[in-house]
Amino acid sequence: MTPKFFRSGLPMYSTIMRNLLAIFCAALLVPGDNVLFASASPPPQAPAAQEPANLSADQLNSLVAPIALYPDPLLSQTLVASTYPLEIVQLQQWLAKHKDLKDKALADAVQKENWDPSIQAMAALPDVVKQLADNIKWTTELGNAFLAQQADVMNAVQRMRKKAADAGKLKSSEQVKVETKVVESKTVVVIQQANPQVVYVPSYDPVVVYGAPAYPYPPIVYPPPPPGYYAAGMAISFGIGVAMGAAWGGGWGYNCGWGHNDVTINRNNTFVNNGNINRGNVNRGSNNWQHNPQHRGGAPYSNRATATKYGGTARGDSMATRQANARQAQGQRASAGNRGAGAGASNMAANRGTGAGASNVGANRGTAGASNMAANRGGGGGGDRVGNQQVRSTPSASNKSAFGGDSSGMSRGGAQASSSRGSSSMGASRGGFGGGGGFGGGGRGGGRGGRR
- The residues near 238 (Cβ < 8 Å, ≥ 6 apart) are 175, 200, 201, 202, 203
β-strands 186-193, 237-238: how paired?
A: unpaired
pLDDT in tens, 235-257: 888 888 999 888 888 899 999 99
Question: Residue 214 and residue 157: Cα distance in Å, rounded?
Answer: 15
Mean pLDDT of the chain: 72
Handedness of CA 104, 110, 111, 112 (dihedral sign): positive
CA-nearest of 73, 170, 257 to 179 is 170
Handedness of CA 251, 252, 258, 261 (dihedral sign): positive
User: What's the pLDDT at 223?
Assistant: 54
Bigger pLDDT: 36 vs 204 = 204
Identity of residue 388: N
The mean pLDDT value for 99-124 works out to 94
pLDDT in tens, 268-324: 898 998 875 444 444 555 789 999 999 998 888 988 899 999 988 887 665 666 566
User: What's the pLDDT at 220?
Assistant: 83
pTM across the whole model: 0.64
CA distances from 252 to 53, 71, 178 (A): 34, 11, 18
DSSP state of 59: H
Question: Residue 220 and residue 276: Cα distance in Å, rounded?
Answer: 35
Report, in this order, helix, strand and coil percent for the chain, each rounded to 5: 45, 10, 45
- The residues near 331 (Cβ < 8 Å, ≥ 6 apart) are none
pLDDT in tens, 331-342: 655 655 554 444
Helix, coil or strand: residue 215: coil
The mean pLDDT value for 421-430 works out to 40
φ, ψ at 11 (rounded to 5°): -70, 165
Residue 221 has pLDDT above 50, yes or no: yes
